[in-house]
Amino acid sequence: MLQAKQIAKKFGNHYALLNCSLSIEAGEVHALVGENGAGKSTLIKIITGVYGHDEGEILWENQVVHIAEPKDAKRLGIHAVYQDRHLIPFFTGYENLYLGLEYPKNPLTQAIDWKSLRNQAEDLRQELEIPLDLRKTVSEMSPPEKTMLEVLRAMMLDCRLLILDEPTASLTDQESERLFQLIERLVKTGKSILYVSHRLEEIFQISDRITVLRNGQVVRTEKTPEVNQEQIIQMMTDNQWKSSLVENKEIDQSATLALELENLVTIDHSVKNASLTVREGEIVGVFGLAGSGRTQMLEAIYGLREIEAGVVKLYGETIQRFTPNLSLERGLVLISEDRRKHGLIMNMSIRENMTLPVLKRFSKGLQLLSVKEKKAVSTWMDRLQVKATHPEQAVEELSGGNQQKVVFAKALLTEPRLFLCDEPTQAVDVRTRSEIHQLLRKQTKQQKGVLYVSSDLQEILDIADRIYIFYQGSTIAEMENKDLTLEKVLQISFGQTQGGDRTNG
C-alpha cells in the first residue's frame, strides 16, 4: 500500500532521518519502534505531510506521490491519531467528528441537518462496534473514549492507513484491550495500521511486522513471530545497554514519615477516602483503574485541587493551606502526567524551563546571574544525559524522552524531599524508563520519598516497595511488594476483594 524509499530529512546540519525505507501492506498492523529521538515522529510527519523530505520518495499503491501538506495525505486516505489530542473539549462527539468536513444540510433551508449528521455518525459507530456516547462533550470523556473518537473521526474521512502514535500511553491494560479489539476489526475490513509504541509487550500482541529505527536509520524489519523482545531491544540500542530492574527494599518501619494522608476527600468527590503513608527512603506505588482518583489525589496534595475533608501531614506537620508555591517551599514536587500541558512551556528553551521554579536562586535584585544559571543547567543536562544541541534549544524540538528528562531536571533543581510522580515514564523508551527508575531509587538512597502513580501495573510491581490500590476514589488495599502477581492486584483493583490483603489493617 505505502512505500517510503530512502527517505532523508535534515534539520540544520543534523540528519533526523537518513536512507530510511518502510513498506506497509494492505490489511496489516505494522509496528514502528525505536528509542526517543530515533526518528519515528519525523517519519510519521513526513508520511502525513507535516514535514517535507530532502531525499527519497513515497509511493502509494506503486505510484510516486507528493505529500506536501496534511490535506494531501488525507486525500490519499492517510490519517494519524497522536498522543496529544486534536479535539475541541467543549464540542460534543458529533461536532468533533465533523471538524473539517462539510455538515449535511437541509436542501430547502440550507440549515445544518442535525438528524442526518447524528444518523451518519451512529451508523459508522455501530458498524465499527465502538461503545461511545457521542452526545457527551470531549471534556466529559475518558482517555480511551477520546482515542476511540479520534479513530472514528479518521474513519469518517475514508481512512485506509491509520497511524496510531502511542495510543495507549494513558490507558490501563483493560482500556488498551478495547482499543486492540477495534484495531482487529479495522484490519478485517482491509485497513492498514502503522502502530508506534514504546510498550513492547503490546507490539508483540497485535503487530504482524516490526520495523526498528535507530539514530534516524532503519535497522531491520522483521515478522513479529520471528523475533523476541530482547532481540528488538538489542536492535534499538545497538547492544550497548541492558535493562536493569530496580530492586525492592525491605521497608524500614522506623523511618521518618514524609507524607501521611488520613481520610482525604476532595471537594469534587473525585477522591472520597484516601489514606496512605510514604516514608523517607521508599517508593510507594499507587495503582487503580481509570477514574479511581489517583491523579486527583496527587493534585490535592500539591494544591491543584481543593480539599473538603481529611488530614495531610508532611514530616509530622499538619498542613492547612495548599498551593503549588507552598508545596515547592515545603519540598514537594509534582511530575505531571501531561508534560506538554502542565510540565513544560514548549516554546521556551531547556534552560528557561529548568530554572523557572527557582529563578530567585539565580537572581540578584532585578539582575539574572546568567553564568551561575547556565552552569546549573549544563550540570543537570550532563547528569540526566539530555540529548540536545544546546541549552537554548526549544523544548518542543526534543524527543519525548528528553522532554521528560528536562521535567525531572526542573524538579531536581527545586531540591525536593518528596516526589509526587504521575505516570512519569509515559511514552518514553525502555532506556529512558529504566534511567528514570534508577534516578528515583537514587533519590530514595538520599532519604527522599516517592509516591508513584502508573497505569502500567507491571511497572508498579517492578519499582515499588509498597503498593496502595485505589478503587472509585478510595484506598481499598495496602500491600508490601513481596510475591505479588498481576492477577492478584487486578482482582483487588476491580473491587472484588476490598481490604482483604491489607498489611496494616
Domain boundaries, the chain: 2-237, 257-493
Burial status of residue 381 (CB atoms within 10 A of its CB: 0-12, 13-18, 19 or more): buried
Look up the pTM and report it: 0.67
> How far apart (Å, rounded) are the C-alpha atoms in residues 466 and 485?
13
Low-confidence ranges of the chain (pLDDT < 70): 170, 172, 238-251, 290-291, 494-505
pLDDT tens track for 76-118: 989 888 877 788 999 998 888 888 777 778 777 778 878 888 8
Q: What is the mean pLDDT of the chain?
A: 86
Q: Which residues contact 145 (CB under 8 A, 6 or more apart)?
A: 132, 136
Q: What is the pLDDT of residue 499?
A: 41
What is the CATH T-level fold of the domain 2-237, as seen in this structure?
Rossmann fold (3.40.50)
CA 192 to chain centre: 24
CB count within 10 Å of CB 18 equals 18
Q: Check for a shared fold between 2-237 and 257-493.
A: yes
CA distances (Å), 467 to each of 14, 168, 233, 352, 474, in order?
44, 23, 28, 36, 14
257-493 belongs to which CATH class? alpha beta
Nearest to 247 by CA among 421, 417, 434, 486: 434
Q: What is the pLDDT of residue 145?
A: 83
C-alpha cell recorded at residue 31: 509496528
Q: What is the pLDDT of residue 225?
A: 94
Per-position DSSP letters for 268-325, written without gaps between them? TSSSSBEEEEEETT-EEEEEE-TTSSHHHHHHHHHTSS-EEEEEEEETTEEP----HH
Q: Where are the alpha helices (DSSP H) in 414-449?
A: 430-445
